[in-house]
Amino acid sequence: MAMVSEETTSICSHCNRSIPSLNIDLHYAHCSRNLEKCVVCGDMIPRKHAEEHYQSTHAPVACSLCSETMDREILDVHKGEKCPQRILTCEYCEFPLPAVDLFEHQDTCGNRTESCQRCGRYIRLRDQYVHETTCNGIADNAVGSSSREKKKDEEPRDSVLLWKFRQLNIQLSVSVREARPVLERDPGPQRRVPPPYPRSRLFFTIAVTGVAFILGSFFLQKKSDTSPVSQ
């Protein structure tokens, strides 16, 4: 007749493991002497490896990118999502740079312009997505030409006449400037022109000269008549 015996167990007060009751005293003596419970994770670690376990698993570590100290458990999350020195790429030019410089770079890079392949307009890179959803494919010069023609057709007649009048004034001003005589240039020192001789004074001079000539002739003739008598 076979006998079935039920083995009873007990909980070790040091490691909280279930141990057969017959071996509990021996286990406790060995466990308390050789094992140590990690205060962080609760694992039982050999006493001689406790410090190594803590340093390699739980000790704070410094980020190799920004030198910030943190728990080892969150190091990977920090490097992938929060580290300011993690490398990211610009969404406009795909240039790699630290996350701390990304905002300033993209603010400048996004203001660069490139021509739209459909309408030919120059669009900022940050606005390209919105532009592509609304672009009608009409070239910018065509839009400008049609709007200018429409504006010209709607222009009042008085404005056209005023414009023509202004153009005529401009042409007249140019003609006057081109037709200025050479005398308007600096002529240099001019000769002094004597004042005109009065006509009455001229007649008086002629009369006096004539009278003097007649008197002179008269005296000469009288002198020649009296010369033989005196001999």
More confident residue, 87 or 219: 87
Q: What is the DSSP string of 33-59?
A: HHEEE-TTT--EEEGGGHHHHHHHHTS
pLDDT score at 187: 52
The pLDDT of residue 100 is above 90: yes
> Phi first, then psi: what are they for 87, rounded to 5°?
-85, 125
User: What confidence tier does 96 reach under pLDDT thresholds 50, 70, 90?
Assistant: very high
Contact 106, 90 (CB under 8 A): yes
**Beta-carbon-side half-sphere exposure of residue 3 (alpha carbons within 13 Å):** 2
The pLDDT of residue 186 is above 60: no
Domain 9-57 carries which CATH code?
3.30.40
The pLDDT of residue 138 is above 60: yes
pLDDT, tens only, 34-77: 888 888 888 888 988 888 888 888 888 999 999 999 888 888 99
pLDDT, tens only, 103-132: 999 999 999 999 888 888 899 999 988 888
Give percent above pLDDT 70 in the chain.
63
Hey, how many other C-beta atoms are within 10 angstroms of the C-beta on 68? Answer: 15
More confident residue, 229 or 18: 18
pLDDT score at 88: 95
In 3-state terms, what secondary structure has residue 71?
Answer: coil
Separation between Cα atoms, residue 202 and residue 209, nearest integer Å: 11
* End-to-end alpha carbon distance in the chain: 227
